[in-house]
Structure 1
Amino acid sequence: MTSCGNPNVEKDALMERRPKYDGKTKICVKCKENQGNVVIRHAVYCKSCFFPLVQTRFKRTLEPSINPAPDGPRRKALRAAGSLAVGFSGGTCSMTLLDLVAKTYLTTRPTGNESMKGGTDHPRNSERGVWKGKPTVCYVEVCGAFSGQIDQTEVIRAIVERYPNCPFEFIPLRLEDSFNPSWWSSVGGGNAVDSARSFGLDISDEELRLTHISQSTPPDSSALTALKAYLSSVPTLTAVNSTIQTLIRLLLFHTAAAHNASHLLLGTSLTSLSVNLISGIAQGSGFAVAEEAKEEWTPRPARGLPVRVVRPLRDVGVKECAIWNWWAGLHPVDRPWYPSGAGKNAVDSLTRDFIFGLETDYPATVSTIARTCGKLASKEDSDERCILCERPAQRRVQDWKAQISIRSYSDATPAVSGITKPTHLSDDEISNLTQAKQESKPEPSLAPYLCYACHTTLTSRSIRGMTAPLSAQRAKETPLPMWVRSTLDGVVAKDSVDSEMIQSKKLTSQDIKSQIEQYLIDE
């Protein structure tokens, strides 16, 4: 073996490539003694070496992010600034995460004299934990979003409370809490003021204009009704999946901030991280792709501590998580969001099938995807945040999107009645795309405050049309999540004081000529 074709390099100085599993190796590569029980990325491990392997990867990812950045090169004991919150779904990787947290940081130390000698095991350190207070486990129930699903809250509660001395505080949430003023007040978001509460979203308008909800709308409309109205207004199945993920993410963030948590742990495995990265880029969130691997979120309005989002299993594959659960006697709660298979053609579902199949045949490729995407960064930083997903937003998204895509038709008549009518758009949708707004009064719009991914989610068009037909009244009064309403209250009030409203419209050739006519030279 030579290096770069140099025959003078000593053979002993070269690092031999680890051979792939040939199907004949039976001895564990770690201890070199025991019979192997499992093959992980072409390497054989026994049961005794498997658990320390996963726990080491877990701690190697989590512990560097626990302490704030040190002032110098010194090493400090692990002391977090706040409490710990764990996002728990009951799935395979989430179950492994909860078990690792409980067994690594929350187990009761032995009280024998031989077990507590000195150093970190000194008796004075026996009652001092890494995080302050009692860790919380947050679970978001999504059965209200789809029909035919069973509420699994009590099942999840039993799983969380089965650990000795119950080291976790269980906090059940529901997806419809995103539209619940009572929940918003409980997490310190404040009261939903009348101005923000009266705003609805015109989902049929390309500009996503804000409309005032009519008096005919029941004021005591339930949060579940608002959630179903919001999901039914989203145009595609891919957008529905993305919207649910965004709502769950923000519910966990605000709940963690309300409990003064400095860290939020999510059970995203290496496989799931690769799926999220590829799926997110495909849906337009490439500007914030770094947020998938490492994220620090500051609540709005400001309260509590900044929440550092950590994915400790990002170096552990879903196969290792399944093996951990099997040998530890854990039983995940497996419940698909779409029991009838309605969402199997969504972008994230197709990406998941592709990555899972890729991991079976080429396991190293999945790790390469995650590591490569983790090195990506945008050309320019942005201090703006999307009002919906609260991730970094690119500046002037609308102008950039208008340059790379065609979003309207110049003439409505042939588009509606002629043979050029797009088959995937209804007459009402085409009419909304082609109606002239030059003479209309500027109205507040949600579009300038959205990132590219969220703007695409709300305005994308499917070849099969809308996920559910909406009446014209319902399409113009789509409810908004509570954190969007709270932020809009300040934004709309500021725009009213400044007497400035953003309006975008397409100019005709005559309009352009009239604006520059004084600079033209007569022929």
Structure 2
Amino acid sequence: MIKNALLTMTRFHPYHGQNIRLLHDNMVAYRETSFAHALTFSEKPLRPGEIFLVEIEKNERGWSGHMRIGLTQFNPADHFELPQYALPDLHNMGKSWIFAVTKSHNKVMLNEEGDTDNGDEPYQSVIDVGSRIGIMYKVNGDTAEMRFIINGEDQGPCARYIPYQGGNLHAVVDVYGTTKQVRIIQLYGVSTLQNACRDRILQLTSEDDLNKLPLPKKLKQFLRYELVQEGEDVSPARKEKIVEERTCMKCEKKAVLVTRVNDAFCKECFMVYVTHKFRAAIGKSKLIRDGESVLVGVSGGQASSCLLHLIQEGLSGRAHKKLRFKPGLVFIDEGATIGMSAEERLANCTQVLEIMEKTGFPCYLKALEQAMELEREAVTNTADQTDTASMTSVEDLTKLHRYDKAEEELRALMDSLKSVSAKEDLIKSLRHKILIDLALKKGYSKVMLGDCSTRLAVRLLTDIAQGRGAHVAMDTAFADNRCNDITIVRPIRDFSSKEVAMFNILNNVPSVFIPRITTKVYSVSIEHLTERFVTGLQAEYPSTTSNIMRTGEKLHTEKKSSSENQCAICQAPLDTDVPSSSALSAVRFSETVSRCSSVTLSIFSTDTACDGGGDKTCQSEGQKESECCGRGDGSCQSKESKLTRDEVESALCYACRLLIKDLGDVSKLPKHILDDISQRQRRTKMKSEIEDFLLDPSNTPD
């Protein structure tokens, strides 16, 4: 029992689930997004008789299930791999005793003979804001029993025969489902004669005999650790039980989930609803033809796992009408961006590959650092038989991480970018470049991504904040055709993140959690802040994401006919061809003034890397500084030419110019980007040299 005169402050342990944010000196746990990955632990192990008490401060409508609480012998200081949920995941790991908080609760558990102690008695709703739920354990010989306390009333033992001597017991709270935020209630007490008497009585009396003792009711409650204050009624009137039975909006059966406020579904109708939305998105677009090869991007996350399962079901014999395209799967390992070790990256790839192999579809693995060595032009419809990215077994995974030089270049590039927003943006561009390159080499005409409506709504607002307002139509549309040979499609863009999560839970769809550059980093990137903003609004106003998406569908981006009118990094149409009196010109002028020390400025300089007369940035091996190679198309083909920052920025859209703003050396950009810009500069130079000899189409007679 508690011997100290004053209990120390109780806090949450700093190691917690990825969606949890600790506030107020680690005494408040707030779930920022989703409904999973929200495990929290007590900072210190509990002592026998010590009550760990939390109060529900915020709820979030629209989810199913509520907070879970219990005890575990896993030490959070060991930083063991956290599961998504306390029930059943943490419970199935062993050494954990978890209890689900429900709207109605039996005060007593079954005894050893299987009978209830006092009968079933519905309890008042305990999931409302202000409810206090506590957990404690009491020692009985070599084992212990866990007791559950709701709003000051002991609910009786909810777990017996806990081997407490096998390790310290930490309290565990899963801020799950409708429960959004909980606060630890500090319990202070003074060791008194009453406490000493209680300790002695409990040592000599069993739980079953306690109720038989001829003692006043109030004293019995004190012995059972019920939180009764002086002058308070020991038997408060109970609230009438509120039954919220929902029926399926389609078949009137009992509903198992609610997607939106008034959209309740049973499992069968929900599956039909999701499958129909997926097939309708593919069918009404008429972009994917029968027998067409489609490359599916798999990240291991919830959305891509949902997409993969829908494709697999659509191609199975169980489907009423089978899908007709031929899928291939690809996973891109981004571990190099966060400094993962080779062993950690190999373990992640192994988990994802095992999931992909079970589908029977062709599987490919790529490393993000391979983008640093891509050629400027991919070989169209030509299978590369020596490509180490084509994996057929786990043993072949060791071939994936043999890009030491490219990995060093990628890390140097990421370290050069100061903001996390710029790093996220660059990673997305490199990832898309790898997808397009692999699709061209392997003969795929479409790339299918698992972007849901919640993710696309966040991206739409993020693009506007980052200066990509002209490109949001491409980034959020069902079909993105910025690349001439490959079309990117998003068949689950009408799914919300909640629908994706519910679908995966009901179908036991496996997923793999892989840390990203923003994992456990709060309020550091524009996209991360936007996600918190959108999901917060979505919790209170369920139509938030759909309204954002409908607004985005009204926008349109004009596709440029020439690749030279596209951004060299993101392949979006250039939005920098504006009049001299535009805001962009004013920004460029301001930046030039801040960089230049002299008064004479040339802010619209079009100097090229080679002018045929000997530019200082063009010099091949064995040549004098004033000579130019003049090979190939008549322009400089030197591999030693170095692009200036102005030349690089001339081939980038406004947002990508901001991306490389803090990049000290533009030569750190991937090779295919620099080669593309160099060719544009050479063609521009050559065109200016022969411009007087070209016919003007406007003056050509009919």
Question: Does TM, scored on the shorter chain, surpass 0.5?
Answer: yes
Q: Which amino acid counterpart does residue 407 of structure 2 have in structure 1?
A: L
Bigger CA drift: 290-299 or 49-58? 290-299
In structure 2, the partner of 1:422 is: none
Q: Percent identity?
A: 25
Matched, 1:170 2:363: yes
In structure 2, the partner of 1:65 is: 285
Indicate how the Cα distance of structure 1 residues 491 and 327 shifts in structure 2: closer, same or farther if over 3 A, else same.
Answer: same
Deviation per CA, 1:387-418, whole angstroms, max 9, x where unpaired?
1111122251595454453654797xxxxxxx
Matches of 1:319 and 1:186, distance apart in 2: 40
Indicate how the Cα distance of structure 1 residues 351 and 260 shifts in structure 2: closer, same or farther if over 3 A, else same.
Answer: same
* Structure 2 residue corresponding to 1:338, chosen from 517, 537, 541: 517
2:278·2:491 contact (CA, 8 Å) conserved in 1?
yes
In structure 1, the partner of 2:90 is: none
1:184·1:482 contact (CA, 8 Å) conserved in 2?
no
Matches of 1:479 and 1:376, distance apart in 2: 34
Matches of 2:489 and 2:657, distance apart in 1: 27
Indicate how the Cα distance of structure 1 residues 342 and 48 shifts in structure 2: closer, same or farther if over 3 A, else same.
Answer: closer
1:83·1:263 contact (CA, 8 Å) conserved in 2?
yes
1:35·1:46 contact (CA, 8 Å) conserved in 2?
yes
Structure 1 residue matching 2:667: 3-state secondary structure = coil
Matches of 1:435 and 1:325, distance apart in 2: 63
Matched, 1:36 2:255: yes
Indicate how the Cα distance of structure 1 residues 84 and 405 shifts in structure 2: closer, same or farther if over 3 A, else same.
Answer: same
1:290·1:373 contact (CA, 8 Å) conserved in 2?
yes
Matched, 1:108 2:351: no
1:269·1:313 contact (CA, 8 Å) conserved in 2?
yes
In structure 1, the partner of 2:587 is: 405
Q: Which amino acid counterpart does residue 265 of structure 1 have in structure 2?
A: M
In structure 2, the partner of 1:455 is: 657
Equivalent pairs, count = 385
Matches within 5 A, 1:250-261: 250-261=433-444
Deviation per CA, 1:32-90, whole angstroms, max 9, x where unpaired?
2x21000111211011111111111111112223447xxxxxxxxx525x311101101
CA apart distance, 1:434: 7.0
Pick the structure with more strand per residue: 2
1:141·1:174 contact (CA, 8 Å) conserved in 2?
yes
Q: Which amino acid counterpart does residue 298 of structure 2 have in structure 1?
A: F
* Structure 2 residue corresponding to 1:138, chosen from 315, 318, 330: 330
In structure 1, the partner of 2:568 is: 387
Matched, 1:358 2:537: yes
- Name the larger-Rg structure: 2
Matches of 1:368 and 1:154, distance apart in 2: 39
Indicate how the Cα distance of structure 1 residues 499 and 406 shifts in structure 2: closer, same or farther if over 3 A, else same.
Answer: closer
1:145·1:227 contact (CA, 8 Å) conserved in 2?
yes
2:375·2:671 contact (CA, 8 Å) conserved in 1?
no
Cα RMSD for the two superposed structures: 3.5
1:283·1:453 contact (CA, 8 Å) conserved in 2?
yes
* Structure 2 residue corresponding to 1:180, chosen from 364, 373, 376: 373
Matches of 2:257 and 2:655, distance apart in 1: 40
In structure 2, the partner of 1:24 is: 244
Bigger CA drift: 89-98 or 320-329? 320-329
Matched, 1:480 2:664: no
Indicate how the Cα distance of structure 1 residues 363 and 101 shifts in structure 2: closer, same or farther if over 3 A, else same.
Answer: same
1:229·1:478 contact (CA, 8 Å) conserved in 2?
no
Q: Which amino acid counterpart does residue 324 of structure 1 have in structure 2?
A: F
* Structure 2 residue corresponding to 1:490, chosen from 644, 664, 679: 679
Structure 2 residue matching 1:90: 3-state secondary structure = coil
Matched, 1:442 2:604: no
CA apart distance, 1:477: 5.3
In structure 2, the partner of 1:79 is: 290
Bigger CA drift: 346-355 or 146-155? 146-155
2:297·2:448 contact (CA, 8 Å) conserved in 1?
yes
Indicate how the Cα distance of structure 1 residues 25 and 336 shifts in structure 2: closer, same or farther if over 3 A, else same.
Answer: same
Q: Which amino acid counterpart does residue 359 of structure 1 have in structure 2?
A: Q
1:62·1:312 contact (CA, 8 Å) conserved in 2?
yes
Q: Which amino acid counterpart does residue 442 of structure 1 have in structure 2?
A: D
Larger relative contact order, structure 1 or 2 (CA cutoff 8 Å, min sep 6) = 1
Specify every segment of 5 or more residues in structure 1 that has no aligned partner in the other structure, as ranges. Answer: 1-19, 69-77, 121-125, 191-219, 301-305, 412-429, 460-465, 502-523
Q: Which amino acid counterpart does residue 327 of structure 1 have in structure 2?
A: L
1:84·1:135 contact (CA, 8 Å) conserved in 2?
yes
Matches of 1:173 and 1:488, distance apart in 2: 25
In structure 1, the partner of 2:492 is: 313
Indicate how the Cα distance of structure 1 residues 229 and 40 shifts in structure 2: closer, same or farther if over 3 A, else same.
Answer: same
Matches within 5 A, 1:293-332: 293-297=477-481, 299=483, 306-332=485-511
Matches of 1:136 and 1:45, distance apart in 2: 32
- Give TM-score scaled by structure 2 length: 0.50
Indicate how the Cα distance of structure 1 residues 349 and 109 shifts in structure 2: closer, same or farther if over 3 A, else same.
Answer: closer
Q: Which amino acid counterpart does residue 365 of structure 2 have in structure 1?
A: P
1:235·1:458 contact (CA, 8 Å) conserved in 2?
no
Indicate how the Cα distance of structure 1 residues 458 and 410 shifts in structure 2: closer, same or farther if over 3 A, else same.
Answer: closer
Indicate how the Cα distance of structure 1 residues 410 and 441 shifts in structure 2: closer, same or farther if over 3 A, else same.
Answer: closer
Indicate how the Cα distance of structure 1 residues 436 and 262 shifts in structure 2: closer, same or farther if over 3 A, else same.
Answer: same
Matches of 1:279 and 1:271, distance apart in 2: 12
Matches of 1:339 and 1:391, distance apart in 2: 25
Structure 2 residue matching 1:89: 3-state secondary structure = coil
Structure 1 residue matching 2:510: 3-state secondary structure = coil
Indicate how the Cα distance of structure 1 residues 406 and 159 shifts in structure 2: closer, same or farther if over 3 A, else same.
Answer: same
Structure 2 residue matching 1:278: 3-state secondary structure = helix
CA apart distance, 1:295: 3.6
Q: Which amino acid counterpart does residue 297 of structure 1 have in structure 2?
A: N
Matches of 2:509 and 2:404, distance apart in 1: 40
Q: Which amino acid counterpart does residue 405 of structure 1 have in structure 2?
A: V
Specify every segment of 5 or more residues in structure 2 that has no aligned partner in the other structure, as ranges. Answer: 1-61, 64-241, 384-402, 610-646, 691-702
2:378·2:437 contact (CA, 8 Å) conserved in 1?
no
Matches of 1:381 and 1:338, distance apart in 2: 31
1:279·1:351 contact (CA, 8 Å) conserved in 2?
yes
In structure 1, the partner of 2:411 is: 228
Matches of 1:288 and 1:410, distance apart in 2: 26
Q: Which amino acid counterpart does residue 350 of structure 2 have in structure 1?
A: E
Structure 1 residue matching 2:502: 3-state secondary structure = helix
1:263·1:307 contact (CA, 8 Å) conserved in 2?
yes
Indicate how the Cα distance of structure 1 residues 387 and 343 shifts in structure 2: closer, same or farther if over 3 A, else same.
Answer: farther
Matches of 2:489 and 2:437, distance apart in 1: 16
Matches of 1:410 and 1:273, distance apart in 2: 35
1:296·1:309 contact (CA, 8 Å) conserved in 2?
yes
Pick the structure with more helix per residue: 1
Indicate how the Cα distance of structure 1 residues 23 and 88 shifts in structure 2: closer, same or farther if over 3 A, else same.
Answer: farther
- Give TM-score scaled by structure 1 length: 0.66
2:376·2:672 contact (CA, 8 Å) conserved in 1?
no
